[in-house]
Amino acid sequence: MGKKVLIIDDSNTMRKIVTRSLRQAGLDFEAILEAGDGQAALDVLAGETVDIILSDINMPVMDGIEFLRQKQADPKIKDIPVVMITTEAGSEILDEAKSLGAAGSIKKPFTPDQIQETLGSLL
Amino acid sequence: MDLNKSISQATQEIFQTMLMMEASPGQAVAERAKGFVDSVSAIVGMAGANKGMLAIHIPEATALVITSSFLMMEVTEVDDDVKDAIGELANMVAGSIKADLTEQGQEFKLSIPSVVCGAEYEIDCLTDSQGVSMPFSIEGGEFLVEFHLQK
């Protein structure tokens, strides 16, 4: 059975770019699901099982850090790997994300090769 | 920190990596631009030890070129896609500058981008500031990137 990915980003443009980059990277997903913030992602995960999550950090309603916190507290989804895709490279906020279980990070702007390199070892 | 270099490198890297376009920087000035005509402006606030803002001001025709390239489809009017794309562009430039400032020991938090557009408008969100306003040219138009900190 094919794998599923969930992309969390408040920017519709960025969700489209990430989707395109996944395909350009040769990562073949059965389904690419989208959510506009952390709360919307938790709603998706209440009804769907995914293999990996790509999440922005700086979002309205529920940001990526709070999403990680809520995900870690839910035994049904806590083991799904999350890769942060963010402009916040090298800052304290990424350290916080890692302490909350983030499996990796990709800095915007990114190339399909960087996506492949980071996700390849997690799938 | 060389602010001109930081803005120039961040903007060029984003255009090369995400848009497959060359963005050529022009002569930076210290004065902020305030009035805009038929344009789209995206602003990211920066809060920390100092307050600041990163803004990108783009004529509508250039914003359509950039959004079409981002989405890989022809966009012919300024709609939510254009506002979202230009907001994300400002977000990425602000993130790169923030990383440079963090290396200098200055921690900032970034706001979510705000986008305004229209036939004629003014932006005046920092009354007493210092910084850089740098023009860029791409195939299909020009735009302005500004980074200013409250004095």
Q: What is the pLDDT along chain A (123 residues), one digit of tens a residue?
A: 689 999 999 999 999 999 999 999 999 899 999 999 999 999 999 999 999 999 999 999 999 999 999 999 999 999 999 999 988 766 788 899 999 999 999 999 999 999 999 998 898
Asked whether residue A65 is domain-assigned, the answer is yes
Residue A42 sits in a domain whose CATH number is 3.40.50.2300
Give me the pLDDT at residue A120, please: 87
pLDDT digit string, tens, across residues B49-105: 778 999 999 999 999 999 999 999 999 999 999 999 999 999 999 999 888 888 888
Nearest residue of B to residue A58 by CA position?
A: B112
| Cβ pair A81, A52 in contact under 8 A | yes
Nearest residue of A to residue B106 by CA position?
A: A91
Give me the pLDDT at residue B31, please: 86
pLDDT digit string, tens, across residues B119-137: 999 988 777 888 899 999 9
DSSP conformation letters of A55-104: E-SS-SSS-HHHHHHHHHT-TTTTTS-EEEEES-TTSHHHHHHHHTT--E
> Cβ separation of B112 and A10 shorter than 8 Å?
yes
Question: Looking at the complex, does the CB of residue A12 fall below 8 Å from at least one CB of chain B?
Answer: yes
Q: What is the mean pLDDT of chain B?
A: 92
Contacts of A64 (CB under 8 A, 6+ apart): A8, A38, A55, A56, A57, A58, A84, A86, A97
Domain count, chain A: 1
What are the domain boundaries of chain B? 3-21+38-150
Give me the pLDDT at residue A12, please: 95
For residue A64, the chain B residues in CB contact (below 8 A) are none
% chain B with pLDDT above 90: 72
Asked whether residue A123 is domain-assigned, the answer is no
Asked whether residue A122 is domain-assigned, the answer is no
Residue A35: give the domain boundaries: 3-117
Q: Is the ipTM of this complex over 0.90?
A: no
Nearest residue of A to residue B111 by CA position?
A: A58
Which CATH superfamily does the domain covering B3-21+38-150 fall into?
CheC-like (3.40.1550.10)
> Cβ separation of A14 and B110 shorter than 8 Å?
no
Contacts of B23 (CB under 8 A, 6+ apart): B11, B12, B15, B16, B136, B137, B138
Asked whether residue A62 is domain-assigned, the answer is yes
